[in-house]
Structure 1
Amino acid sequence: MAELQVRWHQSTAEVPPAAWERLLQPAQQDPLSPDPAELPFYRWCWLKELEASGSIVPREGWKPCHLGLWRGEELVALAPLYLKGHSYGEFVFDQSFAQLAGQLGLRYYPKLVGMSPVSPVQGYRFLIAAGEDAAELTAVMLELIDGFCRRNRILSCNFLYVDQAWRALAEAAGCATWINQQSQWSNPGHADFSDYLASFNANQRRNIKRERKAVAAAGLSVTPLEGEAIAPTLVGRMHDFYAQHCARWGPWGSKYLSESFFQALAHEPQLRRHLVLFSAHRGDPAEPLAMSLCVRGGDHLWGRYWGSDVEIDCLHFEVCYYAPIEWAIAHGIRHFDPGAGGSHKRRRGFVAQPRASLHRWSDPRFDAILRDWLPGANAQMAREIEAINAELPFTAAYDSPHASHLRTEPAA
């Protein structure tokens, strides 16, 4: 490994886009995770535009700090990382860790975080060139990160929503695993929306039909618009809906993305091709009264943002869940992640899934306390996931795609 040079990059733009994109080929593929080459949230263009738009920058509490390993002019491995001055925009809630640090007289912030900013999307991993030893490079990079944290008196490094295949490599190199949960819809073979409805018990089928009829009775239709068919003005309108929805929550609105980022989504072909908008309208879909923004990559769909100018019963469910599911079935999408939070998602076929975050702590006392706590916390989360999924409103004969295929305990 001596021939490798270590560089810490203070912005995504410091890395040539072709070098970054070349690493988006997995050393090993997890069949349950998105293809890294089709995961837009870790592409160079996406992360660069988050910074260029002023959305993910130091003044907002996100300082890019990407670790690169180079062999001459060849980028061999990369860890997308950010120094964080807060815990917002992560959706893995570690405020209790910050409280513990305070009780021990330790400074919790800034911390080092590996994730796609403000995107609770499974798939984080170190990007490693094909033909390299992924296990060895993962261990080397974690040692370099440990050294960086010690030199800069950083207490914690956290990798969120990790790719399942890479998770095993990081656990073998000493990362501690914390399990949380997130909802996901998976298609077990539905041919159309009627098949999806048939998977529910009779009571929930009636509820879903009633909710969709409420939107239709209000005179609204929902039209999906994809990729290059989306007019830039419509993406700008989506920003207005997003900003308006966030403003309704006041100081808790969590408006992370600037208008400039939405403009980049509208005008950059590499980004716009991943977009799917669901326009609720009376008449022209280009004149929406409500809209949701989803992101597509391969056979995965992610729900991100929505907003509305009108208060119509069940409109949120139609624009954010039912219309995207109907579109997903028709387009061969196998998995739809509607975003963080919301117990109401479960009544509509979204199954609780375990999501792993990996952690390293530089203070021995802090590390020992949390590693002692994690096994019990993870076991409790496994029981909670099982209990949630046991209450889903499916028919008794329906084999719902529960989360049993994913590990909820750290690897041995």
Structure 2
Amino acid sequence: MAELHARWHQSMAELPAEQWQALVGQHLPFYGWDWLHQLEASGSIVPRQGWQPCHLGLWRGDLLVAVAPLYLKGHSYGEFVFDQAFARLADDLGLRYYPKLVGMSPVSPVQGYRFWFAPGEDAAALTGLMLELIDEFCRRNHLLSCNFLYVDPAWQPLAEAAGCASWINQQSLWHNPGYRSFDDYLASFNANQRRNIKRERKAVASAGLQVTPLVGAEIPPRMVGRMHAFYAQHCSRWGAWGSKYLTEAFFTAAAQQLRQHLVLFSAHHGDPTEPVAMSLCVRSEQGLWGRYWGSDVDLDNLHFEVCYYAPIEWAIAHGIRSFDPGAGGSHKRRRGFLAEPRVSLHRWSDPRFDAMLRQWLPRANALMREEIEAINAELPFSAAPPPLDQRAA
């Protein structure tokens, strides 16, 4: 440990892309150097938007041996783990809740957050060391909390052993048990819901619309700009609650540098490059994530087709093992998505605040496990429920 030294980095540009990528790997695009860098460089994730990059790196000379992507946050937007009750408790105790330190891929509720280490390093020891450095940073800057969201289950035990408190929330996920076709997927539903899905898809086709996937190099750059327009339009429909986080510059950069991870589902009358509605998904070899959508037409069931059914059909055809459709939406349950636990890990610097929340968490987590089990017991399709992690008790 003596030969290591820590640095706090205020932008991804301060960190070497190749070394970062060697630690993180390719399986989760949302933590790749290009993705995180473009969020910052595009003006999407920057201090004036309430996100101050504050990444922790451990170095051995000029070699990056461990990283933790972190952000100082002046609000709780773009996290989708709703800690407003924590903020109210802090206010009741006369404590300042913001700013707080958050570890996640910004505005992406995607499971997989962790500290990353070079091969051969002691992951448990480095986790403990980095958490000590984070605690010191929080004390020095008078921060009440550090929060790691959508944690990688493989890293979770190391952080818990070093004193992090676990909080269970839930999210939706589609699993592919080995379907060979969309008909196989339909066969998993009861007869009533199978008819409903067929009727929903037929309504879109009867309106004269086709949905075409455009993947990677097939995507014309201007289509990604069009996708930003759909995204902005959809956000504007919610007014002040629209949650428009990403700039057009991020979408432009995605078209140039991240296109290999993108799948666009274009709803169109003839030419797929002239869509009337579109969704953007992000892919890896085994996973698909639904991110954004928008439409120029108001058509019942179009959202389900563009955001769920067409991506599921494409995922089956390409051997994708899981599809995360994004945060929110109980309507996902009736369309093949299980409720699954998602764990966030927390550290609080004030002893009273820490003690109160650690006393509350076991009961809250037990209730969430019961809710997840109840939801999955009433699904209109056959599926093996995901195991519930008993460690976050």
Which category describes the TM-score, using the shorter chain as reference length?
Answer: over 0.9
Find out whether 1:64 has 2:53 as its counterpart: yes
Q: Give the distance between the partners of 2:141 and 2:384, measured in 1 at CA.
A: 44
Question: Per-residue deviation at 1:24?
Answer: 1.5
Question: What does residue 401 of structure 1 align with?
Answer: 384
Match runs of 1:129-148 below 5 Å: 129-148=118-137
1:272 to 259, 264, 272: 259
Distance apart, 1:298 and its partner CA: 1.9
Pairing partner for 1:372 from 330, 339, 359 = 359
Q: Deviations 1:213-242 (Å, cap 9, x if unpaired)?
A: 000000000000000110000000000000
Name the structure 2 match of 1:3. 3
Alignment of 1:315-334 (within 5 A): 315-334=302-321
Work out whether 1:207 is the aligned partner of 2:196: yes
Deviation digits for residues 83-117 of structure 1 (CA, Å, limit 9, x no counterpart): 00000000000000000000000000000000000
User: Kindly, what percent of the aligned residue pairs are identical?
Assistant: 76
Would the aligned equivalents of 1:222 and 1:278 in 2 still touch at CA under 8 Å? Answer: yes
Please tell me the residue identity of whatever aligns with 2:150.
Y
The 5 Å alignment of 1:249-328 reads 249-268=238-257, 271-328=258-315
> What's the counterpart of residue 381 of structure 1?
368
Aligned to 2:219: 230
1:335 to 2:318 alignment: no
The reply to whether residue 357 of structure 1 matches residue 357 of structure 2 is no
> Any idea what the Cα deviations from partners look like across 1:44-68, whole Å, max 9, x if unmatched?
0100000000000000000000011
- How many equivalent pairs are there? 393
Counterpart-to-counterpart distance in 2, 1:166 and 1:13 = 26
CA separation in 2, counterparts of 1:266 and 1:23?
25
8 Å CA contact retained: 1:178, 1:357: yes
Query: Cα distance, 1:382 vs. partner?
Result: 0.2
Other-structure match for 1:30: none
Q: Name the amino acid aligned to 2:145.
A: S
Partner Cα separation in structure 1 for residue 40 and residue 384 of structure 2: 37
Q: Summarize deviations over 1:378-402 as a string: whole Å, max 9, x none.
A: 00000000000011002xxx3x031
Which residue type is aligned with residue 385 of structure 2?
Answer: H
Note the C-alpha offset of 1:408: 4.7
TM-score by length of structure 2 reads 0.99
- For 1:301, what is the secondary structure of its paired residue? strand
1:198 counterpart = 2:184: no
Letter of the 2:177 partner, please give it.
P
| Corresponding residue number in structure 1 for 2:20 | 20
Q: CA deviation at 1:19?
A: 1.3
Give the alignment of 1:106-117 within 5 angstroms.
106-117=95-106
> Does structure 2 retain, via aligned residues, the 8 Å contact 1:188–1:401?
no
Question: What TM-score do the two structures reach when normalised by structure 1?
Answer: 0.95
Alpha-carbon offset, residue 2 of structure 1: 1.1
Letter in 1 for 2:13: A
Q: For structure 2, which runs of at least 5 residues remain unmatched after alignment?
A: none
Contact 1:122 1:163 in 2 (8 A): yes
Residue identity opposite 1:403 in structure 2: P
CA deviations on 1:363-391 (whole Å, 9 max, x unpaired) are: 00000000000000000000000000011
2:175 alignment partner in structure 1: 186
Q: Residue 315 of structure 1: CA displacement?
A: 0.2
Q: How does 1:53-202 map to 2 (within 5 A)?
A: 53-202=42-191
* Displacement of 1:38: 1.6
The answer on whether the counterparts of 1:4 and 1:71 sit within 8 Å (CA) in structure 2 is: yes
C-alpha distance in 2 between matches for 1:195 and 1:384: 28
Q: Tell me how far 1:409 sits from its aligned partner.
A: 3.9
Deviations, residues 99-157 of structure 1 (Å, cap 9, x unaligned): 00000000000000000000000000001111000000000000000000001100000
Q: Is there any run of 5+ residues in structure 1 with no aligned partner, and where?
A: 26-36
Equivalent residue for 1:244, pick from 220, 227, 233: 233
| Whole-Å separation in 2 of the counterparts to 1:6 and 1:234 | 42
How far apart, in 2, do the equivalents of 1:86 and 1:159 lie? 15
* Secondary structure of 1:403's aligned partner: coil
Q: Return the alpha-carbon distance in structure 2 between the equivalents of residues 47 and 267 of structure 1.
A: 15
Aligned residue type for 2:389: R
Q: Classify the secondary structure of the residue corresponding to 1:165.
A: coil
The amino acid that maps onto 2:7 is: R
Distance in 1 between residues matched to 2:384 and 2:114, nearest whole Å: 25
Letter in 1 for 2:52: K
The answer on whether the counterparts of 1:90 and 1:117 sit within 8 Å (CA) in structure 2 is yes
Q: CA RMSD in A?
A: 0.8
